[in-house]
Chains A and B, each alone.
Chain A
Amino acid sequence: MDSATPLMTVEALSKSFVYSATVLDRLRYGGRRTVRALQDVSFVLRRGETLGIVGESGCGKSTLARCLVRLHHPDVGRISFAGQDVLALEGAARRAYNRSVQMVFQDPYGSLNPRMTVHQMLAEAITFHGLCAGAAVDARIAELLDLVRLPADAAGRYPREFSGGQRQRIGIARALAVEPECLIADELVSSLDVSVQAQIINLLLELQERLHLTVLFIAHDLRLVRHISHRVAVMYLGSIVELAETERLFTQPAHPYTAALLKAAPELDPARRSVVDAVRGELPSPLNVPPGCPFHPRCPKAFDRCRTERPLLRERAAGQVAACHL
């Protein structure tokens, strides 16, 4: 990581999804159902780093990623990139932002247009943004394929002719075609086999090195996140509950949920087994976010203040913040 200059700053981002009320909903809940996907999320993404974001279903990590690329529009909050207010960008400025911040999706089978060849996909990205023209486009496409370790003849083929891992490579190539500064990887390898995951992760590490990319790596696999991130943020029910340097987070977690998550993740050492559940209770739904600290119903250390007052992120040690009253 070269420097601590912020590349992107996210401030107080909140997003709710409202489902229009059916008659049954009115009878049952007395009105519309609101999913509070993000609640007051703030963090800074530094240039050149890999920030890992972990959390379980309903924590809001995917919604956060989609807000950052403007697929969703947050209700409240501000996103700054290179000094600009991202949410206010329109037209050419917005397209420039799209070039700077790109995304690779989880599902290798749905994220590529089945009716376009690899060449068409990449050429479109390159020519739409005016990056080069004519014969230079073909050369650039060959370069991109080489970058993601696909053979040159892949260009004329359709996505259905490739395996899952290869499709993810194509997705990465498409994102890199516009020469972004920041790459958001939303569960990039979750759908792939273990041995293929390793190949893609290695590719990502290499690309980051070569192209000086900043990466936002969203995943639920803690081992992977620990392996490639400089810093890690843990999310729970729409909020960031802890953010710290990787090793610090994994060895000295400051939030009870982080500790529980680490305990729950199955370790590769057969000699170290426990019989006690890491966390009791069910994963709550973002339809019903508990008042106060969202984790309090399951927290072994909860006390009165946790049930009423929502904790804010406080600094615990150098570079480590956690949202806990303890």
Chain B
Amino acid sequence: MAAEPLLSVRGLRVTFAAPRGLLTAVDGIDFDVQAGEVLGVAGESGSGKSVTLRSLLRLVKPPGHVDGQVVWRGRDILSMPEADVRDIRGREIAMIFQEPMTALNPVLTVGTQIRESLAEHTQLDAGQRKARAVELLDLVGIPSAKSRSEDYPHQFSGGMRQRAMIAIALAAKPRLLLADEPTTALDVTIQDQILKLLLRLRRELQMSVILVTHDLGVIAQTCDRLVVMYAGQVVETGPVAALFAQPRHAYTLGLLNSVPRAGAIRQPLASIPGQPPSLLDLPTGCAFAPRCRFVTAACSTARPPLVEVAPGHLSACLRHRDVAAA
């Protein structure tokens, strides 16, 4: 990848001052997003994936504390004045969330909410905004867009609300869309529709997407590249096809093995023993070491760095060769 990345994250660290101590939600991570790609961020609860996404737009408030660099088109978002960040939010980088009912304002019509975003981020006049709002609802696949734009969020079904939220997010034609578990709360057939919609929009609007999810199937079907997070650290990153075919980190391997595959019916799944570590008390060295079946002494002494194990494929596992052979 010789092209300049659209978004570049270096050394991102997010901590929360909790009554019981310092909670490290994100422990110094690096990753890039290229133009036009769908980057998946996979991990289970406590991995830090949602916090990462929110910190990109400076949505993390005290007692949360964010360090590091988030370089967007040459400028570091984390050190910009607040007014400039507000400019970027909604216009260049937009975000959609898991629960559309809480993310949408229940007392405003959907059309009003889209027009609000347009008013804030574009130069269109009132008439143009109205037309554009209907266009957007049509773009996201809501039938009878004109009449539906006067409906309130509670009059939409779950899938429709998610589409409406996408329409609001896309109002100002952002270059990057952050999606925090957008389909987790939806049924399978509706999830399928929404994911296909996102891919279509990515193509038509030439947008990049960062998709945070815990569902490996969603990742497999939508993402180009993948970042795997565990206990606030990036453990592996690379092209989705490569990671799924040959994971190079013990956690990724464990995760893929825990998902049932057709064929071995009713056999025990290869589960990962134990539980994720407490974020108040991360172990020294690799955070996954206490649960890892490939663990060696070296794994617990120092945190393994991300090294390139194949072109574009990085892993923070000292035993990555053994993992590949497994």
A278 within 8 A of B: yes
Q: Are B259 and A275 in contact (CB under 8 A)?
A: no
B157, B216, B265, B269: the one contacting A268 at CB < 8 Å is B216
Q: Is A264 interfacial (CB 8 A cutoff)? A: yes
Measured CA separation A150–B265 after assembly (Å): 26
Contact of A56 among B44, B187, B255, B271 (CB under 8 A): B187
In the assembled complex, B244 has its CB within 8 A of some CB on chain A: yes
**Do A226 and B265 have beta carbons less than 8 Å apart?**
yes
With an 8 A cutoff between CB atoms, is B62 at the interface?
A: no
Task: Give the residues in chain A near B321, CB-CB below 8 Å.
Answer: none
A221–B265 CA distance with the chains assembled, in angstroms: 15
B195 within 8 A of A: yes
Q: Are A201 and B269 in contact (CB under 8 A)?
A: yes
CA–CA, A277 to B191, complex, Å? 10
- Interface size of B by Cβ–Cβ distance < 8 Å? 46
**Contact between B258 and A198, CB atoms less than 8 A apart:** yes
Neighbour of B189 across the interface among A247, A267, A283, CB < 8 A: A283
A194 at the interface (CB under 8 A from B): yes
Residues of A within 8 A of B214 (CB): 193-194
- Decide yes or no: A271 and B241 within 8 Å by CB, A261-B189, A278-B189, A283-B190 being known contacts: yes
**B218 close to chain A: CB less than 8 A:** yes
B189 and A194 contacting across the interface, CB-CB below 8 Å: no
A202 touches B271 (CB 8 A): yes
Q: Which of B200, B240, B269 has the largest number of chain A CB atoms within 10 A?
A: B269
Q: Cα distance A11–B267 when bound, in Å?
A: 32
A263 to B192, CA, bound (A): 9
Verify B262–A266 contact, CB threshold 8 A. no
With CB as the reference atom, state the residue of chain A lying closest to B223: A270
Q: Is B126 an interface residue (CB 8 A)?
A: no
- B44 close to A195 (CB less than 8 A): yes
- Please measure, in the bound complex, the distance between the C-alpha atom of A54 and the C-alpha atom of B69, giving whole angstroms: 45
A270 to B255, CA, bound (A): 16
Contact check, B270 vs A198: say whether CB atoms are below 8 A apart: yes
Pick from A201, A277, A283: contact of B187, CB under 8 Å? A283
Q: Is A260 an interface residue (CB 8 A)?
A: yes
Shortest CB-to-CB span from B110 to chain A, Å, is 15
Interface residues of B in 251-291 (CB under 8 A from A): 254-256, 258-262, 264-266, 268-273, 275
- The answer to the question of A305 belonging to the interface, with a C-beta cut-off of 8 Å to chain B, is no
> Looking across the interface, which residue of chain A has its beta carbon closest to that of B45?
A193
Q: How far is the CB of A229 from chain B (nearest CB, A)?
A: 8
Which chain B residue has the least Cβ–Cβ distance from A284?
Answer: B157
A268→B217 contact, CB < 8 A: yes
Identify 24 residue pairs between A and B in the complex whose beta-carbon atoms are under 8 Å apart, listed by A's number. A194-B44, A194-B255, A195-B254, A195-B258, A199-B272, A202-B268, A202-B269, A223-B217, A223-B261, A227-B269, A228-B266, A260-B189, A264-B188, A265-B192, A266-B191, A266-B192, A266-B221, A268-B261, A273-B221, A275-B200, A276-B196, A278-B192, A283-B159, A283-B189
Interface pairs A-B: 9 shortest CB-CB: A266-B217, A227-B260, A198-B271, A198-B258, A264-B192, A56-B187, A193-B44, A198-B269, A266-B221
Interface residues of B (CB under 8 A from A): 44-45, 157-160, 187-193, 195-196, 199-200, 214-218, 220-222, 240-241, 244, 254-256, 258-262, 264-266, 268-273, 275
Chain A residues packing against B (C-beta within 8 Å): 50, 56-57, 163, 165, 193-199, 201-202, 205-206, 220, 222-224, 226-228, 246-247, 250, 260-261, 263-271, 273, 275-280, 282-283, 285
